[in-house]
Structure 1
Amino acid sequence: MEKLRRVGLILLGLILGGGLLFIVIDLFKPKVAGLFVETNPSAKVLVDGVQMGMTPYRTTTKPGEVIILLIPESFNVSLATYETKVTLIPGVETVIRREFRELDDVSAGEIVSFDKINKDETSLAVVTDPDSAQLTIDGIDRAYTPHKTSSILPGEHTLDISADGYLDRVVRVKTHRGYKLTAFVKLGKTSMNPQESSPTTIPTPEPTSSYERKVEILQTDTGFLRVRENPSTLGKEIRQVRPGESYSLLDIDGKTGWFKIELEDGTVGWISNQYAREIESVSPTPTPAP
């Protein structure tokens, strides 16, 4: 009986010791930082000069300051590269989004990062390029950037940013208790639209070809993209389109940059340019006989 009791005490000690060991190891295990990069079009991702892959790119790594270089895939035109320095915070994911254009001034995007604050507080800071842009939070609160508030609840929020001479941008973020979310948003200029730049001479092929402007639907979090009556998230939803589909491009809204498309049944509506890209469809046309 005494022998059994001793064996039981030994086993109990091993279990408790093992549990304590796991706790100690977990306490001293370093927390990693997250990084997510999303671009349009797809781009090479270099971190501190080392190529890591193509966008969309997600990873976990050691915390600290890193230099991110994004080199977009460009087949028809030369697109501006993007380089930025960010500080990766342990336990949270830093998000970088970028829409490439021929020039940096007309490119757009955002960087969303987090900093630890009092565990009972939730904070949001919005910084923009250009400064003094108009900011609407969840369609209600209006302010001018840079703007910081601690009067915000944890959860999902929609930031609408606009400025004269720039395309509007909509950024969706999720705040967390105990963290300050900082969104740095760059707006793209409208006055330097690549379509207004110096024309490039293109040799006429034989037979001649007609170019139809089209848009391709990109991947979305929901698996579909809403088609609206007006070029705004406040517009009435009239249809849904799917990633990979392409439609005729009728117009581009000069203020928001949204695409006006025509569906197969003739329905006309607007889609966000954040989840679609402009492409060219070439249709060979017979050369008239002399």
Structure 2
Amino acid sequence: MKRKVFFLVGLIGLVFIIGALVRFLGNRGPKQGELRVDSQPAATIFLDNKNIGKTPYKDKVEFGEYTIKLVPETTTTALTSWQGKIVVGQNLLTYVNANLSESELTTAIDVVWLEKITSKQSELSVTTNPDGATVLVDDVSRGVTPLSLQDIAPGDHAVSVTSIGFLARSLKIKTTPGYRLIANLKLALSGATTTPEASPAESSAPSGKATPTPKLTPVKTATGSAGQTSDPPRPFVIIKDTPTGFLRVREEPSTSATEAGRVNPGEKYTISDTQSGWYQIKYDGINSGWVSGQYTEKVE
């Protein structure tokens, strides 16, 4: 009987030892996150001075802080390289989007990543170079950079950053409970030859699973009716002044919907449909989209 007891005790002890060894070896394994890099034009990527490939890039890297450098690949125009710091979290996505230009002043960079926090809320932190840029979340002004929001609802959001003398930047993000989404943006001086705005797709959830590849989407400019002597057919809307100097036209009647184009204050558009405080208009004479009633005046 005693032999059986000793055997069982020894067996249990062996199981604990094996379990501890497995956990120890597992902790010694690679701890990785996902890095995605896009640029216009294509560029060679150096991570801590090591060539890891070209844009567009997506791969797993060990978590930690890195120095990243993008060297543009072009033979037609002399463009400036860009170098900066990034953080890759364990099982999290870090996204870099670069519009490289002839000088550092006219180069625009977006670096977005997730950081685990002790709170169960979702948070958003936005910093810019230079500071003092206005931040709009879902078309509502939330303050100036550096900005930290601890009351942002989980889910999809549209973030816009504007500053006088600099090109505006727009991001589509997804906030997650228990994580802080950090967006560090380098603004480009107005008059740059970069793409008007970068629209990276949603950041991944903390699981680190793959997400849709971020895209650069050119924004259609409205050919509005500002200053015309006759009004369009009624009912129509008059675009009001906005904090950004323009009003976004959405593909659907929601602030989280994709931006289809832009209209300017004072322009007038015939209403083709109404839904939940949104008006459907033909913003360029051909394509239809939705504008928020918050920044429009309806004329019956």
Matches of 1:221 and 1:87 in 2, distance apart? 19
- Secondary structure of the residue aligned to 1:66 is strand
> Paired residue for 1:31?
31
> Paired residue for 1:137?
137
Map 1:186-225; keep pairs closer than 5 Å: 186-190=186-190, 193=192, 221=213
Letter in 2 for 1:124: L
List gaps (5 residues or longer) in structure 1: 1-13, 196-218, 238-252, 254-265, 270-290
Map 1:223-234; keep pairs closer than 5 Å: 228=220, 230=222, 234=248
- Secondary structure of the residue aligned to 2:143 is strand
- Report if the CA contact (8 A) 1:134-1:143 is conserved: yes
Superposition TM-score, scaled by structure 2 size: 0.59
Letter in 2 for 1:113: W
Note the C-alpha offset of 1:26: 4.2
- Report if the CA contact (8 A) 1:229-1:236 is conserved: no
Letter in 2 for 1:230: A
Q: What percent of counterpart residues are identical?
A: 27
- Secondary structure of the residue aligned to 2:249 is coil
Note the C-alpha offset of 1:19: 8.1
> Paired residue for 2:249?
235
List gaps (5 residues or longer) in structure 2: 1-13, 195-200, 202-211, 224-245, 252-262, 264-283, 288-300
Residues 59 and 236 from structure 1, CA distance in 2 versus in 1: closer, same or farther, beyond 3 angstroms? closer
Letter in 2 for 1:78: A
> Paired residue for 2:122?
122
> Paired residue for 1:6?
none
Residues 124 and 194 from structure 1, CA distance in 2 versus in 1: closer, same or farther, beyond 3 angstroms? closer
Matches of 2:97 and 2:217 in 1, distance apart? 18
Map 1:101-116; keep pairs closer than 5 Å: 101-116=101-116
Residues 143 and 94 from structure 1, CA distance in 2 versus in 1: closer, same or farther, beyond 3 angstroms? same
- Report if the CA contact (8 A) 1:228-1:236 is conserved: no
> Paired residue for 2:146?
146
Note the C-alpha offset of 1:18: 8.2
Note the C-alpha offset of 1:95: 1.2
Letter in 2 for 1:69: K
Map 1:45-64; keep pairs closer than 5 Å: 45-64=45-64
- Secondary structure of the residue aligned to 1:46 is strand
Letter in 1 for 2:40: N
Note the C-alpha offset of 1:75: 2.2
Residues 179 and 79 from structure 1, CA distance in 2 versus in 1: closer, same or farther, beyond 3 angstroms? same
- Report if the CA contact (8 A) 2:126-2:147 is conserved: yes
Q: Is 2:159 the counterpart of 1:159? A: yes
Q: How many residues align?
A: 220
Matches of 2:216 and 2:149 in 1, distance apart? 33
- Secondary structure of the residue aligned to 1:235 is strand
Letter in 1 for 2:152: I
Cα RMSD (Å) of the superposition?
4.1
